[in-house]
Each structure stands twice: as C-alpha cells, then as structure tokens.
Copies of this chain bind each other. A is one copy, B any other.
C-alpha cells in the first residue's frame, strides 16, 4: 500500500477544523497551524503535530491546505513573510479552500509554479455541516497534474469534486455559485412578503410552487426554518456579503456587468447595517420585511 502523504493544515476555524479532523481520522500524518491556539491543542491531542508558522508547516509536508476568512488573509499566509511560499520546495502542492478573489488565486499560482510547486484554488460549498459530514462540493482550479494525488483527499472531505479549469477557475465557480444563491435567497424573501401582504398564506404559496419551475435547494430547505421562526445559521449573512463583494470585484476586474447580483450585494449590505450579520443568509427576508413594514410571522 502506498504511504499516505503528510498534510499541512492552516486555518482551523468553522470549516478547516472539521475537514482536518476527518483527514486525521483517515490516518493522514498532519502538521497544523492556527492563529488561535485552542484548535491547535485540540488537533494535537488527536495526533497532529504543531507547525510554528506557515513557512514551517510548508517545509514539513507534501500537501498544504488553507481555510482562511478572506483574500488578505490568504495573501499574507501564502505570499507574506514567514508564509507558505518561503517554506516551499519543488513538488509541494498547495490547496487553498478559502473563498477569495480569482485574480489573487491566479497570482498565487504563478508564484508557486515558479518554484516548481503547484497551487490550486479549491473553494467549497456546503457549510460547516458539510465540512463535519465530509459532504462538501469542491470546485477546483489549477494544474491537472496535481489532481491525481488530491482526489483521494477530496473524497474524504467532500462528496463532489469538479475540476473547473486553470488556476482561478475554482474561485470563479464559487463566485458563480454565490450569484445564484443570493438571487434565490432574495427572491424567496420577496415572494414570501408578496404573499403575506396580498393576503395569502406564505407557507401554502411555497408549498404550491416548490415542485415546479421555481424548484430550488433554497425553497426545498429554508422555508421550514423561516416558518418556525428560526433565522440562525446555516451560512452567515456576513459571509454571504463578503462572497458577494468578491463577485462584484471580480465582475469589475474582468468587465462583467451584473445588475442583479449588484442589487443583491446591496441588500445583504443593508442586512449587515440592520444588525443581522450573524443570522442565516435566508434571513435577508428581514430587509424586505423592513421595506414592507411587516413581518413574515404574525
């Protein structure tokens, strides 16, 4: 049997920690690093080793993963001082699971390629529950040559991996995903408030349209929680808003006018201003409620 590669994990948050744990349970040797120490201690108690900087982790592993909040964090950890690139030797594979700007993913790929290493962008969809259950959807951009070694790993953390194309393509797919998700969340809020204000039962309306041309994961899953008065995440609104900012930055950078996604970005921005940043993204209905001066539930 082939020896398992040693993995590095940087960023042990809501997504990174369960992903790392699932791989640790599969018997992968692992070196971990995280800004806050608590998660490091937890993983070390389960068999991981501690890395003292991104550079240190990179120098001790075959494949290194990051799960970080935003583009500046990834830029610092990958290309900054004591960053991954500084510890990189030929053949290292760097996989970024964060959701960041496609253009940054492309810049990182160029830097690693120049060292004879590989960098792939592999943002995920499916939330913390998907990370815990190992059922994430993984959208991969980067060199096909590195994929063969990664696929058994992706099979542990996810249920579906798509190689979208060259470096940055994974991030573009994630941005595309968020264009559709935001549209569905806003539309669901609008149609529920339309039903409420015009005197129909929003729950019966949703039931009537769930199976037809309007069918979507959002309408299948979220209404039950909203009608039960539950707006807890799920996927937090401020993460949705941050991802939409990436969408709009990317749209501007590459010249793609997105009028509807632009509006949804503003509605999620309003949601944050209204103090709802830690609620589920489906709670964007709160913005429509406010505009309509009503509430979904009596």
Interface residues of A, Cβ cutoff 8 Å to B: 102, 125-127, 137, 139, 141, 160, 162-166, 168-170, 172-173, 175-177, 179-184, 186-188, 190-201, 204-209, 211-219, 235, 247, 250-251, 253-261, 263-264, 267, 288, 291-293
Contact = CB atoms under 8 A, between A and B. Distances in A.
A184 B291 CA distance: 22
Contacts of A261: 187, 190, 194
Contact of A259 (B102, B208, B267): B267
- If over half of A's interface residues share one DSSP class (helix, strand or loop), that class is named, otherwise mixed; here it is helix
Q: How many copies of this chain does the complex contain?
A: 2
24 contacts: A125-B213, A139-B209, A162-B208, A166-B199, A169-B205, A172-B194, A172-B195, A175-B194, A176-B214, A177-B213, A179-B187, A179-B190, A180-B209, A181-B213, A190-B258, A194-B251, A194-B258, A212-B217, A216-B216, A255-B293, A256-B292, A257-B291, A260-B264, A260-B267
A134 to B, nearest CB: 15
Nearest to A170: B208
B255 A205 contact: no
Nearest to A138: B208
Contacts of A182: 187
B260 A260 contact: yes
Given A162-B208, A198-B250, 16 more contacts: A125-B209, A127-B213, A139-B208, A164-B200, A166-B199, A169-B200, A172-B194, A175-B194, A179-B187, A179-B190, A180-B184, A183-B183, A186-B260, A194-B256, A214-B217, A258-B288
